């Protein structure tokens, strides 16, 4: 009688030995190639001190929450994820050195980048030299344009994407004659060029461009140059405390009664706008500060996402700190995108980067708990992401979402082929 | 019978062989990030040396070295964009920054004391603001990527080591030459040097030109190895860095600036990894300590220690 149960035959023994031998050889070969079950290391370049420290604080929380969730669910392809981070001190030279530290000392296989465009630009050569995929958050157009390369992917909108979506909306809803007050450094100058050139191409008019140095306390002398008779809109391209000071002074001077005020994405980012000067201000953002502004179909996943990061439905952390709503979701989504790509292409180590890059080029990303900001896609030619943007308005001291601009609304002509 | 001169030459050669061998094999014992730090420390040492020639040897407390550092860095950017090779680009960086040194020096060397310090400080602020405003040329605060081909970390290290050693050799020859002796005389007693018939302006402008050229070389190397430049390269705090490294390492010595730059590169990296931007506070404290406790810098301390040891062992 033939026993088909558990008895050990010569054939089954041979099969077992062969299988075991093969797996040992495979394991040895894979560890020879540098592949193993060791953790996957993701680096985060964050501004934890300096001018953009508010951003870095939330980026770190967001990345940590994403990694914690993935590890709790079994990791990526069975491998744990290790998050390492460095503080750029909001300085390009330091940021570039910290990028090297992340890669060469801490073993980062992927780096999620800084909010500071200068840090991102200084880090691009590092990413290319060490062939490490880099996901910058800074918005300078050149990052995925003239200075971009095959290892660089940006999930969030660039300055040009904001301008592309924003200028049309302003022209159609607020007016075609603008006065622009802007921060007189790279970010502000770049934004004013992008916004202004589009307006003028479509037959609009810039009545005045008013450059303001960073850290200006008194906006009176600058705002006196605004001509309310000639302008429909005062476009404010300022960041942080400068934006607040400008809004306060424009209210005192009565400009907010005579003109529509429109702020760029950084104008209300992480700021308390519950004061009379901010009332009525329109602005553009990547993502709503308040939970109630998120699309209905994504409300539930956004509630969970915010819970995991530690943000309440009003956009504040446990100690009342206001979130940088427009960007804090990026590290969360990049970590999840890496999980998706690694598992899809069977990435095991740095030698598989090319397959991972191919996967990311042109990828469509549906809104979900992994991607709570909503549907988006990465354009293959320049590795630039496009997603919905929102027009919001300060009403009764709160940011209310007025309209959602779909991803196609932001798409601009590529500046480079990566 | 061995003469004293041949005995000194023998000692010098021994030191040279030990140093060259030590630096030559260093990458074998370092991690990849440590190679980056040592490379950076060497470049910053060259930069500090450029200030030391002006301050430590000619007695001019200049806060304008960042001008030449920035000029050298942007020269590399544009010469690479123009298709020039590395060697020519570095020479061009020295030349262009040297010309800036000549022009700036000619305009300001007659100014004395605190006014000289203030003028150079304002000069570096002015250049920074110009770089910040002319974004089309400099990329402003965001900067620009330098189009280089990366040869590898160790290759970069040997390149920088070679340039640093050449610069040190050049500086040693310079300070031992009649020009160097005149500069020291000007530093120690300017009036006397003038009465002896030396043209103070000529020698000071010459020093500014050489110092500018070397700072340009450092800026060029920095831009090449890091792959980016920004208006921040002109910032006056970069001038202050050179002052701090030199005073801490030992002003008026060729090796001191390298010691200061290396020490503070390590301090900055260590502190920055654990406490964010507390570096300036610690550097301030170290500077006060240096001025009060060891005014001849770390290199002076080392020299004294070696002297004491030799005295002790000889006695």
DSSP helix/strand/coil, A205: strand
Nearest to B142 among A97, A121, A125 (CB): A121
pLDDT over threshold 80, residue B148: yes
pLDDT band at A368 (very low <50, low <70, confident <90, very high): very high
Q: How far is CA A173 from the centre of its chain?
A: 27
Do A269 and A313 sit in the same domain of this protein? Answer: no
Nearest to B232 among A92, A117, A142 (CB): A92
Interval B109-142: pLDDT, tens: 999 889 999 999 999 999 999 998 898 999 998 8
Of all helices (H) and strands (E), which one includes residue A402?
A: strand A398-405
Nearest to A125 among B132, B140, B145 (CB): B145
Half-sphere exposure of A164 (CA within 13 A, CB side): 20
- pLDDT value, residue A7: 46
Share of chain B above pLDDT 70, in %: 95
pLDDT over threshold 50, residue A31: no
Of all helices (H) and strands (E), which one includes residue A357?
A: helix A353-360
CB contact under 8 A, A186 and B139: yes
Interval B38-65: pLDDT, tens: 999 999 999 999 999 999 999 999 999 9
Interval B26-37: pLDDT, tens: 999 999 999 999
Do A398 and A383 sit in the same domain of this protein? Answer: no
The total domain count for chain A is 2
Half-sphere exposure of B1 (CA within 13 A, CB side): 2
pLDDT band at A214 (very low <50, low <70, confident <90, very high): confident
Cα separation, A266 vs A55, whole angstroms: 11
Q: The domain that contains A224 carries what CATH number?
A: 3.40.50.2300
Contact by Cβ (8 Å): A169, B116? no
pLDDT band at A2 (very low <50, low <70, confident <90, very high): very low
Does residue A225 lie within any of the structural domains? yes
Do A353 and A400 sit in the same domain of this protein? Answer: no
Does residue A322 lie within any of the structural domains? yes
Provide the whole-model pTM: 0.89
CB contact under 8 A, B227 and A189: no
| A-chain residues near B232 (CB < 8 A) | 91-93, 118
Nearest to A121 among B32, B133, B145 (CB): B145
* Block residue for tokens 């640093």: B164
| A-chain residues near B276 (CB < 8 A) | 48-49, 87, 89
DSSP helix/strand/coil, A331: helix
In terms of pLDDT, which residue wins out, A183 or B92? B92
> Stretch A308-334: mean pLDDT, rounded?
95
Do A213 and A234 sit in the same domain of this protein? Answer: yes
B125 close contact with A: CB closer than 8 A = no
Do A57 and A151 sit in the same domain of this protein? Answer: yes
| Separation in Å, CA A158 to CA A117, A191, B265, B274, B301 | 10, 10, 34, 32, 53
Do A129 and A211 sit in the same domain of this protein? Answer: no
pLDDT band at B250 (very low <50, low <70, confident <90, very high): very high
Distance to chain B for A50, nearest Cα, Å: 8
Interval A82-109: pLDDT, tens: 999 999 999 999 999 999 999 999 999 9
pLDDT band at A4 (very low <50, low <70, confident <90, very high): very low
Do A250 and A373 sit in the same domain of this protein? Answer: no
Do A112 and A213 sit in the same domain of this protein? Answer: no
pLDDT over threshold 80, residue B237: yes
Query: For B79, phi and psi rounded to 5 degrees?
Result: -75, -35
Does residue A271 lie within any of the structural domains? yes
pLDDT over threshold 70, residue A412: yes
Do A171 and A121 sit in the same domain of this protein? Answer: no
pLDDT over threshold 80, residue B208: yes
What the block records as the tokens of A51 is 């001018």
Do A275 and A406 sit in the same domain of this protein? Answer: yes
CB contact under 8 A, B140 and A128: no
Do A53 and A140 sit in the same domain of this protein? Answer: yes
Cα separation, A124 vs A110, whole angstroms: 13
Does residue A164 lie within any of the structural domains? yes
Q: Which sign, positive or negative, has the C-alpha torsion B42, B44, B45, B47?
A: positive
What the block records as the tokens of A310 is 């530690």
CB contact under 8 A, B232 and A187: no
Residue of A185, A212, A214, A416 best to disrupt the B interface, most CBs of B under 10 A: A185
Does residue A309 lie within any of the structural domains? yes
Helical H segments across chain B, by residue range: 4-29, 32-52, 65-81, 86-108, 113-133, 135-138, 153-176, 178-188, 190-195, 200-226, 236-249, 256-275, 279-293, 297-314
Cα separation, A279 vs A286, whole angstroms: 20
Does residue A274 lie within any of the structural domains? yes
- pLDDT value, residue A164: 93
Domain hosting residue A126, numbered range:
40-157+296-387
Q: Which of A326, A306, A316, A322 is nearest to A69 (CA)?
A: A306
Do A227 and A345 sit in the same domain of this protein? Answer: no
Q: For the complex shown, is ipTM > 0.95?
A: no
Of all helices (H) and strands (E), which one includes residue A229?
A: none
Cα separation, A41 vs A338, whole angstroms: 11
């Amino acid at each position: 009688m033939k026993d088909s149960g558990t008895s050990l035959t010569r054939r089954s023994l041979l099969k077992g030995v062969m299988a075991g031998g093969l797996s040992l050889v495979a394991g040895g070969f894979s560890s020879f190639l540098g592949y193993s079950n060791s953790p996957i290391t993701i680096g985060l370049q964050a501004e934890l001190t300096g001018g953009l420290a508010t951003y870095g604080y939330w980026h770190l929380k967001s990345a940590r929450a994403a990694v914690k969730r993935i590890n709790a669910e079994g990791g990526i392809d069975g491998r744990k994820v290790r998050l390492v981070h460095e503080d750029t001190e909001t300085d390009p030279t330091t940021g570039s050195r910290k990028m090297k530290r992340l890669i060469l000392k801490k073993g980062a296989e992927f780096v999620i980048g800084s909010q500071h465009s200068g840090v991102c630009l200084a880090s691009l050569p590092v990413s290319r030299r060490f062939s490490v995929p880099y996901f910058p958050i800074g918005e300078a157009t050149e990052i995925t344009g003239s200075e971009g390369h095959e290892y660089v992917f940006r999930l969030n909108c660039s300055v040009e994407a904001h301008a592309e979506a924003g200028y049309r909306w302003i022209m159609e809803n607020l007016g075609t004659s603008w006065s622009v007050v802007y921060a007189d450094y790279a970010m502000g100058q770049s934004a004013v060029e992008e916004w202004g050139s589009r307006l003028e191409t479509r037959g609009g008019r810039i009545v005045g461009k008013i450059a303001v140095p960073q850290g200006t306390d008194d906006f009176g002398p600058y705002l006196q140059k605004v001509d309310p008779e000639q302008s429909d809109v005062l476009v404010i391209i300022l960041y942080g405390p400068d934006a607040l000071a400008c809004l306060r002074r424009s209210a005192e001077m009565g400009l907010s009664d005579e003109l529509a005020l429109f702020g760029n994405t950084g104008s209300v980012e992480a700021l308390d706008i519950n004061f009379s000067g901010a009332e009525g201000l329109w602005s553009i953002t990547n993502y709503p500060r308040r939970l109630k502004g998120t699309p209905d179909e994504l409300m539930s996943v956004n509630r969970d996402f915010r819970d995991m990061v530690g943000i309440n439905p009003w956009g504040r952390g446990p100690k009342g700190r206001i979130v940088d709503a427009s960007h804090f979701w990026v590290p969360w989504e990049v970590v999840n995108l890496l999980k998706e790509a690694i598992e899809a292409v069977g990435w095991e180590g740095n030698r598989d980067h090319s397959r991972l890059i191919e996967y990311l080029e042109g990828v469509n990303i549906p809104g979900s708990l992994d991607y709570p900001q909503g549907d988006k896609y990465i354009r293959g030619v320049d590795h630039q992401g496009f997603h919905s943007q929102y027009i919001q308005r300060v009403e009764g001291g709160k940011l209310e979402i007025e309209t959602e601009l779909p991803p196609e609304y932001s798409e601009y002509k590529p500046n480079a082929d990566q | 019978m061995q003469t004293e001169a041949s005995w000194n030459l023998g000692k010098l050669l021994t030191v040279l062989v030990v140093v060259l061998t030590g630096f030559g094999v260093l990458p074998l014992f370092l991690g990849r990030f440590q190679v980056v730090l040592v490379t950076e420390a060497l470049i910053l040492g060259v930069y500090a040396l450029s200030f030391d020639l002006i301050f430590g040897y000619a007695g001019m407390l200049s806060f304008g070295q960042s001008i030449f550092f920035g000029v050298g860095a942007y020269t590399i950017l544009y010469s690479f964009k123009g298709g020039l090779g590395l060697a020519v680009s570095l020479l061009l960086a020295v030349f262009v920054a040297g010309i800036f040194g000549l022009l700036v020096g000619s305009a300001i060397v007659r100014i004395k004391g605190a006014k000289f310090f203030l003028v150079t400080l304002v000069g570096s602020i002015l250049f920074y603001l110009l770089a910040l405003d002319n974004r089309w040329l400099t990329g402003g605060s965001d900067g620009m990527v330098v189009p280089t081909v990366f040869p590898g970390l160790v290759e970069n290290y040997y390149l920088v080591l070679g340039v640093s050693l050449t610069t040190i050799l050049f500086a040693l020859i310079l300070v031992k030459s009649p020009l160097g002796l005149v500069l020291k005389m000007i530093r120690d007693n300017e009036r006397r040097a003038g009465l002896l018939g030396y043209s103070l302006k000529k020698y000071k402008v010459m020093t500014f030109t050489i110092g500018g050229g070397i700072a340009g070389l450092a800026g060029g190397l920095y831009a090449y190895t890091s792959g980016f430049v920004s208006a921040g390269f002109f910032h006056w705090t970069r001038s202050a860095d050179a002052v701090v490294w030199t005073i801490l390492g030992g002003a008026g010595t060729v090796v001191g600036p390298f010691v200061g730059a290396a020490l503070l590169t390590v301090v900055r990296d260590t502190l920055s990894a654990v406490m964010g931007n507390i570096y300036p506070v610690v550097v301030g404290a170290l500077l006060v300590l240096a001025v009060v406790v060891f005014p001849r810098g770390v290199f002076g301390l080392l020299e004294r220690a070696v002297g004491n040891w030799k005295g002790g062992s000889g006695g």
